[in-house]
Each structure stands twice: as structure tokens, then as C-alpha cells.
Structure 1
Amino acid sequence: MSKTSRRTKRKSIPLAFHPRVFSALGSDLVTNDLVAITELVKNSYDAFADRVDVRFGSDGSGEFIEIQDDGEGMSLKIIRDVWCMVGTPYRLSNPTCRKGTRARRASGEKGLGRLSAARLGNRLEMLTKAKSEPCWEVRVDWDELAESDDLSTCTVDLNEVTGDAAFKRTGTRIRIYNLKSEWDEDRVEELEDHLSRMVSPFKTVEGFSIWLSRSEGDTTPTRITPQEFLKFPKYALEGTVDETGSLKWCYSFRLIGSKKVRRSIAGELQWKTMREERTAPKRVAALENPNCGPFSFEIRGWDVDLVGVRDIADHYDLDKRTIRQSIGAYKGISVYRDGILVLPKSENSRDWLGLDRRRISDVGKRLSTTQLVGYARITADANPKIKDTSDRERLVDLPEVQAFEHILRCAVATLESERQTDRIDEDAAEKPLAEIFEGLSAEDLVEDVVEAADEGASAKDALQLVKKHERNLAKTRKEIERRFIYYSQLATVGTIAEFLVHEVRNRTTTINAFVRAVLEYADEYEITEKMSRNVERAENAIASLARLAETFAPLANRSFRRGKRSCDLVDRVKRLLDAKSAETDRLNIDVIRSPGGSCEVAVDPGEMDAILLNLFENAFYWLGQKREGKRQLAIRLGRLRRKQRVEVTIEDSGPGVPEEYESKIFLPGVTRKPNGIGMGLTIASELIVAYGGQMKYCPQGNLSGATFVFDLPLKK
């Protein structure tokens, strides 16, 4: 402050609002007439109405819009202290409304919803009755309020209503006169679509219905329902999770426009399997019991790419914008506790499960929140550990909550895996990779054209043959593009493998030098037997890593060529099973092997391990899902002397492969494992084809589970 300036006497000037604030807030804060009616319907929802009717009609006072509900109604105190107070914090202080034993989370909290009426028309008449209270009539003329000099002169007319005009039961009816907009048939239809987004597509979640009467003579009001396509999703998964974390699910697939389920399958995921998933957080992996169940869930999904949306649009006569908005109104997975919405509370918390971030790693297969509509039902008594934070935007970061989230992500992953199976074009995809490239050949076209010419066909006929070939080429190109996605991922893995082999070699050399130094130290000083055993285990571990690096080093080399190396198949089986002994012991798997000896095959040891390991890993996974009966894995070898080949049979006593999967299990991307890539059997089968063999799935095996049979060349 300068030396010449003086501090004047401090004054306080009160803020004031002109009465026109009522109409201004109604007109400017509420973006359009459709939103205005929706806000008034939300007020009915917050009053715990089971039914709300929206009517367009007329009487002696003119045309009107009417919103009537059977909710709790308002007492004189609520009218005075809440309804007549603009911006009331009432809903912030009372976020839950109750009716008997039921409870409902309020949808509004700003205290401005009633001003929506000011946007729709200049005059409001309201009748309302609360339990054990008189019926009250409230009249508001928004134009008169706006013309008042100040807020102190702004009043509403309030009268007690008796006789036939009074409500006999609780509820509220609002009539808006002097309408500011025309409501023709198209506009009312648009309102119907807008209101449909308020109604849950899940019957089990919310008991709230909206009915629309289009005109005064409309004696049969229309019940507002979600868009039809939301009730019949293309992909759906529903299930339950018990106290132990075991997830039982049922998947269904239907074509867009059809109510009939085309394919369904049921399954179960045990907690032990889910917590061992590579995607499980550390705190989740450490939980013997998730302590987050029991609960139930349902998840619905759609394809929302151009083709998928066009398919919905064609079958349901909807525009693409409406389709995306309809899914967007419910997108993601919501959590309801005792029937009250817990998550999401805002647009920012729609992806509280992190599905969109997870999708970045695999855009084609993973589903985002814009493709999903789902819910999980919990209760305060059964799920006491699942709590939301004070800001209501997420759940409290507890191990049990992380387990709850992980189980739901596993459910989504199961839906994604089953969806991937149904997305595959069977006609194009059931061919091995080598046969797919044959589709790029023009030999068949040339032969057809020559044959047609010999038969005297015209140029027009020949053109039809060319068009047919063009369609086949397009199908082949599509399949090659699909396969390329997976093989490009494998190319990345190959680059990583090259790096890993290099690192393993370097690190084992360093560690081995340290172990030798320890042994030299041990020669000079006495060490305990326990230390000696630990050193020996370290030596064995280093040797095992070194052997592993040597096995896969040629595959990581860009100059790799088949035929340079061979291996003993019996020895490879033994090595891999020994390496997986901890898993077979943990799962109590009885491994049955062919008699000993040796069987030299003309197969690179690294590729041999890749084939066997993929089959073993599948067997271990599905045996782990088995709750009752023996868990057995059998490996049998049989020589095909005439062909100088060996036949290998690997079978287990697990659940086997469902019949509808049998023709697809060798295709890229087909997997029934949550978070599976769907490349294991594809890689194994195509490696076998590269060695002149074939892998088959046999549904009738000795152990009643999955049986795979393939053949390999014997070393000459």
C-alpha cells in the first residue's frame, strides 16, 4: 500500500438475487425440455415412487404436461423447508430414502430439479399427500415471480384440499400449464426414448416403472422400457460367487434381433485358480479366502464397432447415436448394496474396475465399458468388507475389495473368451495356416474360366466367376489379417525371448562364479549340512536355467532352421514334468507315463517343449477346476513303424472340451480360460503340422477328460 493511500471503513454488502432467478435457473441450468421432464421423473424416483405417469392432456385451463407418482408425497414441513428452498442440501444430508423395509439411493442432490417445471411452462399446479398428512395444493406462476421486486415478495399459493379432489393415498401430481414448446408426435416419441434410459434393463435391480400417455384420449398408457436390444444382448454372462470365492457362471450367445439363445455354456472358476492368475494383485494372490462373497452378477455385452452398431440399427430400426447413448446410459458394471446403487455415482467412476485401461493391451478381444452393461448385487450383512469411500467414487482399498474386483474382472474375462469363440468365422477359420494361404492362389479361377470357355460361356459368365473369386479372396484376406494380429504378438514374444536368453546366460555365469567362490570358502571352513544342501540346490537351479537357455537359444536366433537338432521325446516329457512337479503335487495329480527307454524324434527340443508345455499347462488348469474324483494325466507313446513316426497321446481326467468347442479349439484366440490368449493349442498344432504331422482332439478318451493325439517324425 502506498504512503498516500488511506484505509477506508470496512463495509459488508449482502448478495441478492432477483426473482427472475427462478425462471433463469429453470431455462439455463436445465439444458432442454426432455431433460426437464426427466428431472421431474427423477424427483418421483427419489420420493420412492413405484410408478410414475407422464401425461399430455388439456382441460379448461389449457394444454398441460402432467407427472404423477405414488411416492411418499410431501408434508407441510417438507413443502416449506425443502420444496420451497432452491438449492436445498436436503438430499445431500438424506441420500437414501426408505419405504417400509426397502431403501433407495436418491438420484438427485443439487435441489434444483423442481425448477425444471419453469422451463416447460409458465404455471405449475401441484397436489401432494404424505402419510397421515392432509392433501396440499401448491400453485406457482413463474412469470409473476419474475416480475416481483425482490425475493421477500416471492410466495407460492398453498391450500389444503379436501373432498373428492384430495388424494386418498400418498403421492404427488404436478401439472404444468402455458407450455413453452410444441409437443408433436415426433417430440413425444423422442421423450419416450429419453425416459427409457432411466429404467434399468435388469428386472432384479429396481422396482420402478414409468408410463406415458401421449394425449388426453390415450386410455392405454405405454410402459416405458429400455431399448429392446438391451434386453436381448448378443453376449451375456450371469452367475454367483459363494463364500469361498468359487464363481459359477452361465454364458449365452444370440444373434442380434433374435430372442433365441444360439449357444450357451456353464462353468465354474475356483478361487484358487483366480488368485493364481497373472493379473491378480499381490494382496489378492496372498488370500486363501477372498472373504468378499457371496454375491450375484450379470453382465451383458455388444459389439459397438461400425459393423456391430449397423447390425443393431438394422434389426431394431434405431439410429447409431441412440444405440450408443442407450448403452452409455448404463455402461460399465454397477454395484447395488441391498438394492441401493453404490457404484458408479458419477461419470468419472464408470470405469471403477479399470476395464478400459485393461483393454489397451488387447483392443480386439477385450471389452470396454462402452460395450458392457452389468451389475453386481451385494448386501451389508453378507458383504461387510465391501465399503465405499467417503467421496462415494470408489470402494475402500482393502484386500477383500481387491478380491471382489478381481473376481468381477475374471467374470468379464470369461465373457470375453466365450465372445471370442462366437466371433470367429467358422468357414474361414477352420483351416490350418498353410491352407489359408492356398486361398491366395489364382489356379482355381484359371481352371474355372478355362472350363467355362470350353463350354462356350460368355464374358458375362466369366465375370461371375471372377466376382466369386474376389469374394473368396476378401474372406481369405480377412482371415490372414486376423491371424496376423496374433502372430505379430508372437513376433514380439520372439524378440523378448532373444533378450531373455542373453540375460539368462549372462546372469547364470555371474551367479555360478559366486557359487564356486562359496564352495572354495567351504573347503577352508566347516559348513553345516543345511548350507551344503542350499549350495547344491543353487547349483542345480543354475544348471536348469542354463539348460533352458540352451534349449530355446536357437529359437530366439533369427537364422533358426528346422532339422538341425533332434531330441529324446521321453527325456523331454520327464524334464518338463519334473519342472512342474510342484504344481502336480499341489493339485494332487497322478501322472501316468509310458514305460521308460528313449524315443529320438526329429524335432527341435525347444519346439518339442513348446508343444508339450502347452498341452500340460491346459491339463493342469482344467484338472485344477475339478472338485471331485481323481486327477490324472497320462502320456502314452506308440510307434507307427510304416510311417517312421511316433504317435503321442496326452489325456487327462478333467472336464474335457464341450462339444461346441471341439471344432474350434485349435483356432487363434479361442480360449475358455479367463485372461487366456488362445494361442497355446494353435502354436502346438501348427508346429506339429510343420513336422508333417497332425493334432486331433478325441472326445472319447480312457480318462473321460480331454484327449489329444498327434504324430511326430522319428529320427532316422
Structure 2
Amino acid sequence: MNFEGAQAYLRPRARLMSTLGEELISNERVALTELVKNAYDADANLVLIRFNPPLQENGGSIEVWDDGHGMSPDTVRGTWMEIATSYRHRNPRSESGGRRVLGAKGIGRFAAARLAHVTAITTRRAGEPEVTLRIDWGNFTEGDAYLDEVPVSWSTAAPYVFMEGGEAERNFSEVTRGFTTASADARPGHGTVVRLEGLRMEWGREAVESLKRSLSRLLPPPPPAKLSVPDQPEFAIYIDVPEGPLSHLAGFVAVSEALAHPRYRLIGSVDVAGNAHLAVYADGDEPVEVVEENLRKDSGRPSCGPLKLDFRVWDLEKPALQPLFHLDTGARNLTEVRKLIKDNSGVTLYRDGFRVQPFGEPGFDWLGFDQRRVNNPTMRLSNNQVAGFVYISADDNPGLQDRSHREGLIDSPEYEELKTVILQAITRLEIQRYKLRRPEPGVQPGTGLLTGPSGGRGHGVFQSFNLEPLRQVATERYPNDVVLGRAIEEATETINEGVRKVQEIIAQFSRLATLGTLVDVILHDGRTALARMAFDLRQLSKITKKVEERDVDLSAALVDLRTDFTAQERAIDRLFTRIEPLSGRQRGRPRQLSLHQSISEAASVLESEIARHRVDVTIGGEDVTVTAEPGDIRTLVLNLVSNAVYWLSTTPDGTERAILIETERAREGESDVVDITVSDNGPGVREEIRELIFDTYFSDKPDGIGLGLSIAGSVVKDFYDGDLWLVSPGPLSGASFRARLRRRVG
């Protein structure tokens, strides 16, 4: 038979309904949140979530009541019963026009299938009959029926639930009795109730607490008056639970009082071009810094669009938490204060005033705060001490699109730019926090020199001496054990005091020894991994040759992949070569060398980065011959030049970018010295951080580790009895650093 030109049609099996519910909705908490969002889109003022026992798998029920517009019979048939309808694309605002709707794909209804075996919906629009639907989701998974062969039971009748004196009015009146808000004036003549019968999971204390915590962040807390955020529509959520162990969880979902009392705060806005107006607060109502600058740093990515920021930050040590303990936060001890902060931590994203899942959820560290802290524990914030609120809109931020499974944003260039801009902003808060927590500086060297490594503050390695893992386990297993909590607090204070004394004793000796040991570990483990990577790349090359005979396109793709990985392997190997002089192993013997040649060889390591950012590097001055270990000069130059290249890359595209490296022999008293000066015409070092830049682990870069200047200063000081300084003014208009070598310069 000849079927050329014939047409066929896709016809889904009924089990697709169950599959969509499980695949599009990641868990039951998100599923309930989807039903609440449906109520929000229907202009509801009040949502009641009622848990009916027994709250066990295959038992009990959950009811979701709202006082929204409800649905007419025509809406149920023509919109609700159509899957993936384009209704919300055609109507992006709620019926009242006051809300930007949260649903757009027409698939949120599958949340009910994720929660229970049976869904019963009763809904009424004002002036219309009441509609009831009953869906047994098991009918869609049995047999091989097609989707259009499984009937859904529905009926219309005179109002019974949503009417004067009806069940809806009684429920809402019971909840709002004693409250004088617009939500208290629930409208009984219309709305929707979704009854979920035969629960698919057990709803215990932990599950309901997690739901309540998640819902508490659905709408942001009241924004500061300084931040011009549109007024949020009145929208209240009430959770009703049966008498017993869950009783304390009943009530209106509210923002934690702890959020109103941060120690540090960042408030401000960023426009579509990246121009920021930010204010940083610390222990007071007056800003310690006002930031007016561009945060996009000449990014090649498209703009993420305008946004507004409200970041609240706490220190988690005992002295910093004492003031919170005396506030009405509901916490009985410092352990519970700390838990309150951690339960509300994370950076939440709000689009048109409503939360985008899963931003702000515990463990969803989308900005990488915890990894930044691992790299730099002294300066960086961890995710569990930050409560951030980021405000965007669907109209002004079109490049930030939801993933199809309803959680997170698509990994687009705009999303990457959003994260970059936010990290640029939060770095300014981290700097101010670092300055407040920094010990008093020591004596600074040099007349006419702004600052140097002698003022370094010590080492972040001691940050690991804490009982936080023990505290977390104790809090989870024994949340009500006050005695245990206090014992851990006292032990933590004892350890902190001991660490402080140890730091004071060994600070002057530990810098180079600690760094050398760390570099030894990195070189050993890193090069072992590189050797394995090289072996795997050779195997990939063999596989590629075999594949080429069968699939030319796949072979070409494998070649590209191998080329990219090989380039990355070589880049890491070059990095290890750069830090090898700082290891604790025996160094090579110093020899006579030309400074210009050594500097040129060091700069060539950064050749690709220099070319990518279109930087002009010039080596000038007297070509001095010194007796040195080549790796030392390479380490010094690489750290200073790589810093200069980074800051030059933040200047506007098209700007002339230049680095000048000059060497000269000079006299200091009765002795000869050799100076190496690295200057650039970038933005320079801001006045307020000049005394901080040589501190170990301090960095003004969003992802900086803060070791570059410390490493360079250690090499100059420990091997050449020299100093590294920031000098002003320098040969070029930006930052200028001068390394003075006093030993082996003859």
C-alpha cells in the first residue's frame, strides 16, 4: 500500500494526565503552592488551607478554599477542561486588572493530581449556578484508554456552598473573626474550593512546617519605604489543622518578626543598563555607604532588565544574636533565634509581587553564596545568614522565563546576567561588614605609601573551628532541649576564645607556612586529577576515531569537546605552575636573570585574557639584572597583572585599556634596591578600601578569594626582604602597585 502524502494525528493516552502531574510538579508542597497561585490569579483576598485527618498516605483530605471570582459553567467547559489553554497568554492580568497573573501555561491544575487520588471542585461565579467536578485520577492510569475516552463527572445546581449562610461563608467567618482587614470581609457569593481526597503522602509536623514556611515567603514582607515597590494586593493565607500535635501550626501565614531586625542591609535598585543606586546599612538607620555605579561591568550578555533589591544579613555568633533574643520573635533561646534566621534565609525572587519557586527555599543557593564562602570564609556570606528579596516584573524582564516544570528560571544569558549583577551588589555589603568586623589595623609602613601587607589581618582557616555541624544535628533531633542548646553555645564561646588566643600567638609566623602547606595539597591532589583527565582525554581521542567511521557529525562534536577540555586542562596546569613557588617544598636556586625577560614570560601566561579584553601591556624602565628564583618574579607579576586586567575589563567597551610595567634600580639609604611598578588606567582602588586590600582573604571582586596581593606581598617580603605597596599617584591614572626588592639585587 502507498501512504505517500497521508496524514496522521497525535492522540494522547489518558495516563498522560498522571505523568504530567508527577513530572511538572516536583513535590506536594509546590503542588499546594500552585493551587494558592490559582486563587491569587482569581483575585482572591483569602485562601484557607484545611487539613482533615487522618493525614496519612491514602487517607484524609486537604481543602483549599478561596473567595475569588469562581468559574461559570461556560468557563469550566471552555477553559478549565482544556489542557494548556492559551487563555492566560491572551489575558496576562487578573479580571480586576490589579494583578499580573502567575499561571501562563494552563497546566497548574495538575497540581491536584500530585496531591491526592481524587479531586472534587466546587466553584461559583456571582450570579451563576454552582458547578461541581469530581475527578478520580486513577481512571486515567487504568487500561489503555485515550484521554478523550475518560469522562469527568460534573454537574450544575443552585448555589449551596457559595451562598449567604453557606459552608464557604461559615468557614471564612470562623477564620477572620476578630480581624479587621479587607480579607475579613470575605465574599460568600462566589469562590472555589478544591477538595483533595486520599492523600498521596503523610502530612506530619515537618511537612506542614515546611509548607507554612514556603507560603510565608510567597508574598514579600513589607518593603522599606526607601524602595519604590508597587503596593502588594491584599492576599492572606490561613492554615487550619486538626487538634493535636499540629495545633501550633494553625493560623495566618505571616513573615517572621526576625526579618525586621537585620544587622546589615542593602536596599536599592538597578536599571536596565545596570546603573545602580544602592544604600548599605550596618547597625543603624543611616547608610554607611551609598553606591552609584554600573554593575554590569561591560558584560557581553543581554541585560536582565531592571530590578530592585532588599538584602538582610545577620552574623550568627552569640554576641551578634543577643539583641534579637530580647525581641518578640517567639524564640526561647539563642539556638532558636539562629534557627529562625536560617529558616527564613535564602534569596527569594518576586515577579510582579509574587514569589517564583524555588527561589528562597532552604538549600537552593542559586547565587552560590556557600561556595563563595568556602573559597573565602573570612569575608563572604553564607546562604543561611542572608534573607534577600529581589523584585522583577514579567513586562520589564522578558528574558527571565520560567522552566517548564514550574521551578526556577531557564538558564538564559539574561539569567546569568541577573546573578552577576546581584553578586556585584552584595559584594558592597560584604565589604562594609568586613570593615566592621576587622580587628584594629597595625602599624602601616612607608612614608608617602598608602598601605602595605604589614597591616594584614590574619587567616580565615580558623573559621573552620566551630560546632555548627553539631548544633545543626542537635537542633534537628532535639529542638526543645534548652539545656543542650545552652551547652553547645557555651562550648562554642570557649572554642572561639581559644582560637583567638592561638591566632594572636602564631599570626606573625603562620602566613607563609600555612599558605605553603595549602599549596602543597592543591598541587598534589590537583595534578593527580589532571593526570587522570589527560588519560581520559587520550581515551576520548581513540573513541572519536572509531566513531568517525559511523557518524561524522558526532565525531566532529567529540573533537570539539576534546579540544575544549584539553584547553581547560592546560589552563589549570598553568595555574598550578603559577602557585608552585609558594609551596612548602624546596625552592629552586636563585640565578641571575633579566627582569624584563622574566616579566615578559610571566605576562605571556595571561596572553589570551589580555587579548580578549583588548589590553595594551608595555614593559619599560631599566632592564635590571637581579639574582632571583624565576618563579618568584612570575608569581609577583601574574598576580598584579591579572588584577589589573580584571579591573580594566570592567571599564566601558571601547575605552583604551593599558598596563605599564616599569623596573628601575634605586638607592634606599646606603643600599641598592630594585623597584617593579605595575600600573593601569582602570577605575583605581576606592578610597574606602585602600587600607583593606592587603588583608588576607579581602577582595573587592564578587567572586574573589582575596589571596592575590597577600601571596605577592609574601613572596616579596619573605624572600627579598621587600615590601609591596599601593602608591599614589602612579604612572597611569588607575591603580599602581610597587614591589621593592632589597635582597639579591646586586
Q: TM-score, normalised by structure 1?
A: 0.55
Whole-angstrom distance in 2 between the partners of 1:158 and 1:548: 70
Unaligned runs of 5+ in 2: 1-27, 49-64, 114-122, 131-157, 178-211, 224-228, 238-251, 444-452, 459-495, 535-570
Alpha-carbon distance in structure 2 between the residues aligned to 1:172 and 1:44: 19
CA distance in 1, matches of 2:636, 2:171: 71
Give yes or no for the alignment of 1:712 onto 2:741: yes
Whether the 8 Å CA contact 2:578–2:638 is kept in 1: the answer is no
Residues 73/629 of structure 1: CA separation in 2 closer, same or farther (3 Å cut): closer
Mapped contact 1:339–1:377 kept (Cα < 8 A): yes
**Alignment correspondent of 2:356:** 342
Q: How many Å separate the matches in 2 of 1:330 and 1:475? A: 34
Q: How does 1:216-365 map to 2 (within 5 A)?
A: 227=257, 229-230=259-260, 234-236=264-266, 238-240=268-270, 242=272, 247-249=274-276, 252-256=279-283, 258-270=284-296, 289-291=300-302, 293-298=304-309, 300-303=311-314, 305-307=316-318, 310-311=321-322, 313-314=324-325, 316=327, 318=329, 319=331, 320=334, 323=337, 327=341, 331-344=345-358, 347=361, 350-352=364-366, 355-356=369-370, 365=379
Give yes or no for contact 1:253–1:263 (8 Å, CA) kept in 2: yes
Following the alignment from structure 1 to structure 2, what is the Cα–Cα distance between the partners of residues 98 and 321? 46
CA–CA distance in structure 1, aligned partners of residues 386 and 661 of structure 2: 42
Equivalent residues of 1:45, 1:208 under 8 A apart: no
Report how far residue 473 of structure 1 moved: 9.5
Aligned with 1:651: secondary structure? Answer: strand
1:391 aligns with 2:405: yes
Asked whether 1:654 is paired with 2:682, we answer yes
Would the aligned equivalents of 1:358 and 1:366 in 2 still touch at CA under 8 Å? Answer: yes
Q: CA distance change for structure 1 residues 436 and 339 in 2, over 3 Å: closer, same or farther? A: closer
Shift of 1:617: 1.0
- 1:48 corresponds in structure 2 to 43
Shift of 1:599: 0.9
**Is the 1:331–1:372 contact (alpha carbons within 8 Å) kept by the matching residues of 2?**
yes
The match for 1:412 among 423, 446, 449 is: 423
The corresponding residue for 1:33 is none
How far residue 619 of structure 1 moved from its aligned partner, in angstroms, is 1.0
- Residue 687 of structure 1 is matched in structure 2 by 715
Residues 699, 49 of structure 1: alpha-carbon distance in 2 compared, 3 angstrom cutoff: farther
1:493–1:552 Cα change, 3 Å: closer
d(CA) in 2 for partners of 1:98 and 1:325?
A: 40
- Report 1:430-579 matches (<5 A): 430=442, 474=500, 477=503, 488=514, 491-497=517-523, 556=583, 558-560=585-587, 564-579=590-605
Q: Summarize deviations over 1:334-353 as a string: whole Å, max 9, x none.
A: 33444443322895884455
Task: Quote the Cα distance in structure 2 between the aligned partners of 1:42 and 1:476.
Answer: 54
Match for residue 588 of structure 1 among 595, 614, 627: 614
Whether 1:607 and 2:632 are equivalent positions in the alignment is yes
Q: CA deviation at 1:474?
A: 3.8
TM-score by length of 2: 0.53
CA deviations 1:174-211 (Å, max 9, x no partner) are 322999xxxxxxxxxxxx99998665136327604589
Amino acid at match of 1:342: V
Decide whether the 8 Å contact of 1:233 with 1:300 is kept in 2.
Answer: no
d(CA) in 1 for partners of 2:607, 2:359: 48
Aligned to 1:148: none
Deviation, structure 1 residue 580: 3.6
Distance in 2 (CA, whole Å) between partners of 1:159 and 1:340 is 27
1:103 match:
100
* 2:545 aligned partner: none
Q: Work out which of the two has the higher radius of gyration on C-alpha atoms and give 1 or 2.
A: 1
Specify the code of the residue in structure 1 equivalent to 2:97.
G
Paired position in structure 2 for 1:643: 671
Residue identity opposite 2:682 in structure 1: G
Residue 39 of structure 1 deviates from its aligned partner by 14
Deviation at 1:372, TM superposition (A): 2.8
3-state secondary structure, aligned to 1:392? coil
Question: Where do 1:114-129 residues align within 5 Å?
Answer: none
Cα deviation for residue 605 of structure 1 reads 2.0
Change (3 A) 1:350 1:591: closer
One-letter amino acid matched to 1:715: V
Q: Distance in 2 between matches of 1:632 and 1:711?
A: 22
Query: What is the rounded CA distance, in whole Å, between the counterparts of 2:66 and 2:428 in structure 1?
Result: 45
Q: Which of 388, 392, 400 is the aligned partner of 1:374?
A: 388
Task: Go from structure 1 to structure 2 and tell me whether the alpha carbon gap of 1:368 and 1:623 turns closer, same or farther (over 3 Å shift).
Answer: same
Distance 1:421 1:670, change over 3 A: farther
Q: Find the residue that maps to 2:387 and give its secondary structure.
A: strand
- C-alpha distance in 2, partners of 1:352/1:254? 24
Instruction: After superposition, give the CA deviation of every residue in 1:370-406 in whole Å (9 maximum; x if it has no partner).
Output: 3333344444455545432332123345xxx265146
- Decide whether the 8 Å contact of 1:239 with 1:298 is kept in 2: yes
Q: Classify 1:135/1:590 alpha carbon distance in 2 versus 1 (closer, same or farther; 3 Å).
A: same
Give the AA of the match of 2:309: E
Aligned partner letter, 2:264: K
Task: Give 2:705's aligned residue.
Answer: 677
Whole-angstrom CA distance in 2 between matches of 1:333 and 1:233: 17
Structure 1 residue 557: Cα displacement: 6.7
Structure 1: how far apart are the matches of 2:371 and 2:580?
34
Contact map agreement 1:209 1:224 (CA 8 A) in 2? no
Choose 258-267 or 69-78, whichever is displaced more.
Answer: 69-78
1:625 is aligned to 2:650: yes
The worse-fitting range, judged by mean Cα deviation, of 330-339 and 354-363 is: 354-363
Letter in 1 for 2:288: R
User: What is the one-letter code of the residue matched to 1:493?
Assistant: V
| Equivalent residues of 1:196, 1:227 under 8 A apart | no
**Is the Cα contact below 8 Å between 1:236 and 1:298 reproduced in 2?**
yes
Instruction: Answer whether contact 1:313 1:323 (CA < 8 A) is retained.
Output: yes
Contact 2:309 2:391 in 1 (8 A): no
1:51 and 1:481 map into 2 onto residues whose CA distance is 59
Q: CA deviation at 1:682?
A: 1.1
Q: What is the correspondence of 1:127-206 to structure 2 with a 5 Å cutoff?
A: 133=127, 174-176=172-174, 200-201=220-221, 203=223, 204=229
CA distance in 1 between partners of 2:81 and 2:508 (Å):
55
Q: Give the Å deviation of 1:681.
A: 0.8
In structure 2, distance between residues paired with 1:678 and 1:575: 24
SS state of the match for residue 573, structure 1?
Answer: helix
Q: Distance in 2 between matches of 1:565 and 1:650?
A: 23
> Please, which runs of 5 or more residues in structure 1 have no aligned partner?
1-28, 31-37, 54-68, 83-87, 113-127, 137-154, 166-170, 180-191, 213-221, 274-288, 438-469, 509-543
Contact 1:90–1:111 (Cα < 8 Å) also in 2: no
Are the structure 2 counterparts of residues 546 and 344 from structure 1 closer, same or farther at C-alpha, using a change threshold of 3 Å? Answer: closer
Deviation at residue 299 of structure 1 after TM alignment: 5.3
* Contact map agreement 1:650 1:708 (CA 8 A) in 2: yes
Give the match's secondary structure for 1:427: coil
Q: Count how many residue pairs are aligned between Structure 1 and Structure 2.
A: 509
- Please tell me whether the aligned partners of residues 651 and 705 of structure 1 are also in contact (alpha carbons under 8 angstroms): yes
Q: Secondary structure at the match of 2:628?
A: coil
Change in 2 beyond 3 A, CA 1:305/1:89: farther
Q: CA deviation at 1:671?
A: 0.8
Q: What per-residue deviation string (whole Å, max 9, x for no partner) do you get for residues 423-444 of structure 1?
A: 254434556569989xxxxxxx
